[in-house]
Amino acid sequence: MKKIYGIIGDPVGHSLSPVMHNAAFKKLGLDAVYLAFRVPLEELGDAIRGAKSLGISGLNVTIPLKEKALSFVATEEVAKKIGALNTIDFSSTPTGYNTDGIGALMVLEETVGEIRGKNVLILGAGGAARAISFYLDASGAMVTLANRTEGRSAQLASNLRNANSISLGAELKNQIRDSDILINATSVGMHPKEDATLITADLMHPDLVVFDIVYNPIETKLLKEAKRAGVKKIVDGVKMLVYQGAASFKLWTKEDPPVEVMENAVTAALIR
């Protein structure tokens, strides 16, 4: 019997997770399909209960559902500490996991090597920002969180070992000057609002590593601004998508994910 997996979110039509996972299923010869389901926030509980009843094997969870989803499933300890999940496994009791932080950490370690001691500025305080900040803090980075609602970023910072928060205002310029890594963990710049960015070139310095978790488009407005500022290390969101997706794939199927196939599928779809 064909196994069904999917992603829930609102919006979700832009997601390339179906392209990535279906390529992996095909490569490994698994009788499975991955679909996208638009789920409004107020219908999240019904959607998760319905997925279990319909025999869906696993779900990814994206904005704006990652935090509220904790209320409807059992949750492993890391996701519980983060306060958000992005993966649900229905193989027995529906259980939530968070692979976002793992994906971001892997990308940064590939790019800059040792994370310990790096000053990292994270834009946002939602589910993705929570996961990324948790893993970077645990790896010894010095994390600063900037969010439109400073109270939200301050609350998140209070749950980390070595973190603080600032507003998206006057403090931002000085913080970027003193940062080694800038991460956009918001949806700003995502298709179809591709001309949006929270940070412009005049605030950046060439030695800054600029990482945007948005992957559609591959080159966001933020990354274009980074190029204009002469930034030497620019990281798009494709590899984070692939690495967090590969971790979900492993949880669901117990198979080693074909990471290269997954990355090639995403890149090809974005180029088209």
Residues 230 and 173 occupy one common structural domain: yes
pLDDT (0 to 100) of residue 135: 97
Residues 244 and 227 occupy one common structural domain: no
Residues 264 and 175 occupy one common structural domain: no
pLDDT tens-digit map of 136-180? 999 999 999 999 888 899 999 999 999 999 988 878 999 999 999
Both tokens of residue 169? 């205002």
Residues 124 and 195 occupy one common structural domain: yes
pLDDT tens-digit map of 43-67? 999 999 999 999 999 999 999 999 9
Residue 253 in this model has a pLDDT that exceeds 90: yes
Average pLDDT, the chain: 96
Q: What is d(CA 164, CA 148) in angstroms, rounded to the nearest whole number?
A: 15
Burial of 111 (0-12, 13-18, 19+ CB in 10 A): middle
pLDDT tens-digit map of 77-119? 999 999 999 999 999 999 999 999 999 999 999 999 999 999 9
Residue 265 in this model has a pLDDT that exceeds 80: yes
Least confident of 97-101, 183-187, 189-193: 189-193
Helix (H, G, I), strand (E, B) or coil at 31: coil
* Largest separation between any pair of C-alpha atoms in the chain: 57
Residues 86 and 118 occupy one common structural domain: no
The boundaries of the domain holding residue 225 are 101-236
Domain tally for the chain? Answer: 2
Among 114, 82, 110, 111, smallest CA distance to 97 is for 82
211 in Cβ contact with 180 (< 8 Å)? no
Residues 90 and 199 occupy one common structural domain: no
Can you tell me the mean pLDDT for 118-128? Answer: 96
pLDDT (0 to 100) of residue 170: 74
CATH number where 131 lies: 3.40.50.720
The residue assigned the tokens 């928060």 is 165
Active-site pick, 66, 118, 224, 239: 66
Residues 212 and 125 occupy one common structural domain: yes
Residue 201 in this model has a pLDDT that exceeds 90: yes
Residues 108 and 139 occupy one common structural domain: yes
Residues 216 and 110 occupy one common structural domain: yes
Residues 179 and 212 occupy one common structural domain: yes
Can you tell me the mean pLDDT for 236-265? Answer: 97
Check if 66 is active-site: yes
Residues 91 and 105 occupy one common structural domain: no
Residues 180 and 121 occupy one common structural domain: yes
183 in Cβ contact with 209 (< 8 Å)? no
Q: Which residues contact 49 (CB under 8 A, 6 or more apart)?
A: 72
CATH number where 30 lies: 3.40.50.10860
Q: What is d(CA 254, CA 248) in angstroms, rounded to the nearest whole number?
A: 10
Can you tell me the mean pLDDT for 208-215? Answer: 97
